[in-house]
């Protein structure tokens, strides 16, 4: 069975401990969304597919409100381990700020402003990631991914600032 990236997000989250669909989405929003997002509209259908395939098991959680909690089955754990052993094949970067900068010769001042906005966004992500880190963030491999996010976004924010300054200087010299 071919699994979607969202399916692997779910299997990975469930490898830590049993979770409801709501818990999975909350976990994504605090962790992988910085590099691999998943919506409720992706998670819930995928939970059904994974359950039908025998890769996860569902049971009604005890407590006040009705909710289904999912856990990895042995087959799901094997599937996750197999995927982890494969070399990554997908590297995607969708960045509207870079796209605007690429075409900014049509409006240099708008391109410089897009670059400054991109820098502000990277700085905001750094602040969010540092807050996660300060709040007793993840450990082990997940912590290394957090550090990657902090360091990449710090670099990108600084690059945006340097590049905007260079482009502004070039614009002044050309005028």
End residue of a domain, out of 36, 60, 85: 85
Q: Is the pLDDT of residue 36 over 90?
A: no
Confidence of residue 30 (pLDDT cuts 50, 70, 90): confident
Same structural domain for residues 168 and 108? yes
Alpha carbon 32 to chain centroid, angstroms: 4
Same structural domain for residues 62 and 102? no
Task: State pLDDT tens for residues 37-93.
Answer: 899 999 999 999 999 999 999 998 777 778 899 999 999 999 999 999 999 988 887
Do 138 and 146 touch, CB atoms closer than 8 A?
yes
pLDDT at 159: 98
Task: State pLDDT tens for residues 136-152.
Answer: 878 999 999 999 999 99
Closest Cα partner for 70 from 54, 57, 51? 57
Higher-scoring residue by pLDDT: 33, 57: 57
End residue of a domain, out of 85, 105, 129: 85
Residue ranges making up the domain that contains 79: 5-85
pLDDT at 43: 96
Alpha carbon 27 to chain centroid, angstroms: 11
pLDDT at 144: 96
End residue of a domain, out of 85, 110, 145: 85
Give the CATH number, domain containing residue 31: 1.10.10.10
Q: 51 φ, ψ to 5°?
A: -65, -45
pLDDT at 94: 82
């Amino acid at each position: 069975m071919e699994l979607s990236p969202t399916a692997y997000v779910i299997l990975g989250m469930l490898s830590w401990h049993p979770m409801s669909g709501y818990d999975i989405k909350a976990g994504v929003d605090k962790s992988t969304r910085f590099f691999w997002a998943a919506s409720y509209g992706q998670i819930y259908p995928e939970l059904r597919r994974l359950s039908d395939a025998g890769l996860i098991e569902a049971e009604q959680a005890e407590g006040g409100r009705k909710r289904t909690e999912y856990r990895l089955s042995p087959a799901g754990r094997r599937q996750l381990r197999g995927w982890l052993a494969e070399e990554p094949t997908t590297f995607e970067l969708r960045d509207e700020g870079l796209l605007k900068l690429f075409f900014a010769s049509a409006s240099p001042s708008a391109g410089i402003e897009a670059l400054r906005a991109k820098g502000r966004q990277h700085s905001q992500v750094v602040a969010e990631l540092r807050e996660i880190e300060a709040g007793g963030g993840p450990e082990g491999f997940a912590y290394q991914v957090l550090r990657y996010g902090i360091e990449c976004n710090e670099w990108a924010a600084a690059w945006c600032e340097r590049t905007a300054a260079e482009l502004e200087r070039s614009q002044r010299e050309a005028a």
